[in-house]
């Protein structure tokens, strides 16, 4: 197990948290470590569907991103990722509060990775669970460029 460089993690979180999609839905990377990720969204009015509960697409986005970034932590520095499949189960409705996405890398091969993620409410209850398959992209970089700091210590 490799140890993530805190400077690299900080820079990846800064770049990602500032991207348009993360800003649009108020999602944030809070922590990355080898094979794990932690993301948050503070659910508000903009996240609600017409029945007054958080839209399923928000949960799908949290699962997708939590899986993606968990797998990313084990990826070679010169590769990127893209999602090819997301599957999830909605377990309980949410109307407000902070949602916590906790992702874990199940396996990363040469071209395909698999992650799993749970979404938890502020009471620690699981409200959704899912998996995501990702594909490695050699030489693919973040739009803003990759951090100068090494990925691992």
| Nearest-angstrom CA–CA distance, 101 and 59 | 9
Distance CA 119, CA 89 (A): 10
Q: Which domains does the chain have, with CATH numbers?
A: 6-138 (3.10.129.10)
pLDDT digits 0-9 by tens, 87-137? 999 999 999 999 999 999 999 999 999 999 999 999 999 999 999 999 999
pTM for this prediction: 0.96
């Amino acid at each position: 197990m490799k140890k993530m460089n805190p400077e690299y993690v900080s820079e990846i979180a800064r770049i990602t948290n500032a991207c348009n999609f993360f800003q649009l839905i108020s999602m944030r990377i809070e922590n990355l470590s080898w094979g794990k990720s932690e993301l948050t969204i503070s659910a508000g009015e903009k996240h609600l569907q017409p029945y007054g509960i958080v839209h399923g697409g928000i949960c799908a986005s949290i699962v997708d991103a939590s899986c993606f970034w968990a797998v990313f932590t084990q990826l070679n520095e010169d590769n990127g990722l893209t999602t090819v499949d997301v599957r999830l189960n909605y377990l309980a409705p949410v109307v407000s509060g902070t949602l916590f996405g906790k992702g874990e890398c199940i396996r990363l091969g040469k071209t395909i990775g698999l992650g799993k993620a749970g979404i938890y409410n502020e009471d620690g209850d699981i409200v959704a669970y899912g998996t995501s398959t990702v594909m490695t992209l050699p030489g693919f970089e973040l739009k803003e460029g990759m951090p100068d700091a090494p990925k691992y210590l």
